Amino acid sequence: MKKTFQLISACFLVSAAVLSAAVAPHVGFVYPAGGTPGTKLTVTIGGQYLKDFSGINLSGTPVEVRQTDYFRIYDRKEANKFHKAKEVLEAQMAETTDEALKQQMQRQIELLEPDLAMVAEMKREDKENPAMAAKKQFNPQIAERLTLEITLPKSLRPGDYELRLIATNGLSNPLLFQVGQMPEVSEKEPNNLPAKAETLPSFPVLVNGQIMPGDVDCFRFHARKGQTLVFEAAARSLVPYLADAVPGWFQAVLILYDAKGNQVAYNDDYQCSPDPVLIYTVPADGDYIISIRDSIFRGREDFVYRLSIGELPFIERIFPLGGAANSEVDVSLYGVNLPYTKMKLKAGDNAPDIQPIHVEKNGIRSNVRNFSVSPLPDSPEREPNNQFSQAQAVTNDTVINGTIGKPGDQDWFRFEGREGEKKTVEVFARRLGSPLDSCLTLFNAQRQALATNDDFTDKSFGLVTHQADSRIDITLPATGTYFVRMNDQQGKGGDDYAYRLMIGREQPDYQLRIVPASLRIPRNGTAITTVHAIRSGGFTGEIKLSSPDAPSGVELQRSVIPEGADSARVVVAARPRAEEQTIALEIEGTADCGLRTVRRRAVPAEDMMQAFLYRHLVPMQQLLVEIADPDPVTVTLNLPQSGVFRVRPGEDIRINATAKWLGDGERAIKLTLAEPPEWLALKTGSIKGQGGEIILNVSPNAEPGDKATVLLNGTIRVPLSPDNPDYNPLPKFKGKNKKSVDFTIDAVSIQITN
């Protein structure tokens, strides 16, 4: 009989023989994406590798959780394989007379039944709703669904939390979970037409919903004349980026109708935020309908939203947008339903930094606006300054708070400079929530343009997709007076087009982002993370990384970002004495920046793809590390003390490797390099037993100065349990019932020299 099948199963059964370096669970969406303290929620989580769920982590807050269901959506090819597998097993059972073998085959069929049942349920749903079935697009990233019953503690404070799944194969990526203060409801279909609009309870209320292909959700409510209602949608903020969708997120649209069906208000984003906000003063008592949909009528399960409705406090803008560190700043608040319009804010001592501002009214928190904390002193813009001859004189090393007050407005400034002096002129506006699309031009006293800039990319702001702030770095050609013109590139302006303009000698500095934000480290093993250095002010120096408050047994290895490098692979190790636990690990960098020593926190982040191409470092709250059971094998490389192999073009790199196995069963370890540069090749295919020599070859085409840090990965073959659906019970396959398991051995850094 022919070889029967190669079964692809949703089951990710992990036995003692399987390495903890298996693919970690991935969360694509959470619905609903929040709740109120003291409530019990039924939550659906979509993602990958969720089968071996064991719990959740909600920013370290203990919560009660119980799994009530698991479901997997299969594409047609996968579904057919299950049916084929069952048919082949049944045919083999009919042919064999070996009762023990028959029992084993029957067990295999029983193991297939849950997957076959999910396929049958999927077909039943598609048959009942063929219109929706025709619109479905299979997405493996959210094909698995967990249904959980979560009880939120009464003591839980309102705010944004990070939800991670815990499974035997590791910690998932974090996703936003909001704990609110208003009563919450979840949408009920059908509600896709105004005539079928779902009636909402009294305000304030928060509506949880999902937009499926072509879907529109409509909600009816009664309002009184004079009420100023706020409709605030959270959509893109819940799932920041979609890798396989354009523009790369759920672009929500809000439309408000009166009782006669007339459209009275519309919003598809708010200022420069993709999430829409509608603010509407009710002209007359009556019923109204609010609808939410995708801008181009897309939809799927991860198009999740939370729509807040009511006379909510909402800050539309603040002024100024920031202040000097350790200063008291009088901040004006502009918006609706606010308890006050001015506040005295104490700026923090950590600069540069972003300080969130919000207010609270009737027990409900407002939205958040960003306040920038700068190491430089502030000064105000003074009108009139909209012409070259009216340029406002400013001192060096200052930040000017101003506004492009009306369409077509220009703000001019002048400063004195010396020949050879390095100057930076930079706008902070879009990064602080201002809609200003700035453009900077630097002139000399003869009105000759020396430099201009429209958009400058700041990689530390991973949620800003239109990097509309401007920056000019220049070495002044002569001693004299220089002029700066700033305007909105689109010719727009108004009270909300505020900015902070820095003119001066920017100090050497850096920011750090550490990816990923979830790690699993086996005791007596390691995990490898990438730390990105976002350098500024001409800083190119070495950055040393440390974790001063790490628990006993957890340490960083080769924790240096070399001079001039934008990133480094950092090894986090857990010694045998490390306790099995989940910890929030803090990592910081230290570097000499000119005449000062600068310490910066390594902000946890996720490297997210947008729309098939663009990548963003999206900041997270915590770097969460799970210290887990030891791996069955640990491979240690004998690396140079510096951590870097320095070799000439054409030379070999020889690395002694030691393998330590947990228990019996030493096997061959297949070796591979992850995305090596074209000038590097792996000559050693595998090592056996207790280890051996690993040889890498550097091509003669490599050039001095070339650098790379590559991951050396290992693969071992482990026996399958007879309870695994991939196990083939036929005698001729008994020796072949094995599974390949991949794991990371170490990061190897190489520098090509003369």
Q: Is residue 139 part of a domain?
A: yes
Q: Are residues 100 and 42 in the same domain?
A: yes
Q: How far is CA 222 from the centre of its chain?
A: 38
Q: Are residues 151 and 37 in the same domain?
A: yes
Q: Where in the sequence is the domain holding 648, given as residue range(s)?
A: 631-754
pLDDT for the residue numbered 328: 95
Number of structural domains the chain divides into: 6
* Domain-ending residue, one of 606, 630, 654: 630
Distance of CA 27 to CAs 141, 165, 167, 176, 651, Å? 8, 8, 12, 11, 44
Q: Are residues 408 and 495 in the same domain?
A: yes
User: Which one, of 107, 111, 82, 108, lies nearest residue 5 by Cα?
Assistant: 82
CATH of the domain at 723: 2.60.40.10
Q: Are residues 58 and 156 in the same domain?
A: yes
pLDDT for the residue numbered 580: 85
Alpha carbon distance 445, 476 (integer Å): 12
Alpha carbon distance 114, 72 (integer Å): 10
pLDDT for the residue numbered 734: 66
CA atoms within 13 A on the CB side of 26: 13
Q: Are residues 66 and 160 in the same domain?
A: yes
Three-class HEC string of 185-196: EECCCCCCCHHH
Burial class (CB in 10 A: 0-12, 13-18, 19+), 116: middle
Q: Are residues 431 and 397 in the same domain?
A: yes
Q: Are residues 308 and 319 in the same domain?
A: no
Q: Is residue 5 part of a domain?
A: no
Asked if 141 and 48 count as a contact pair (C-beta separation under 8 A), the reply is yes
Alpha carbon distance 160, 148 (integer Å): 20
CATH of the domain at 291: 2.60.120.380
Q: Are residues 351 and 298 in the same domain?
A: no
Q: Is residue 667 part of a domain?
A: yes
Q: Are residues 400 and 526 in the same domain?
A: no
pLDDT for the residue numbered 44: 97
Q: Are residues 468 and 517 in the same domain?
A: no
CA atoms within 13 A on the CB side of 188: 8
Q: Is the dihedral of CA 94, 100, 104, 109 positive or negative?
A: positive
Residue 472's identity, in one-letter code, is I
pLDDT for the residue numbered 351: 84
pLDDT along the chain (754 residues), means of 10: 27 29 83 96 95 93 94 85 85 85 83 85 81 74 95 94 92 96 95 94 96 95 97 97 92 96 95 95 97 95 97 98 96 98 93 93 94 94 96 94 96 96 95 97 97 95 94 96 97 96 91 96 88 94 95 90 91 87 95 93 96 94 92 87 89 93 82 91 92 94 90 86 75 74 85 91
Q: Are residues 38 and 119 in the same domain?
A: yes
What's the pTM value of the predicted model, to 2 decimals?
A: 0.88
Alpha carbon distance 493, 435 (integer Å): 9
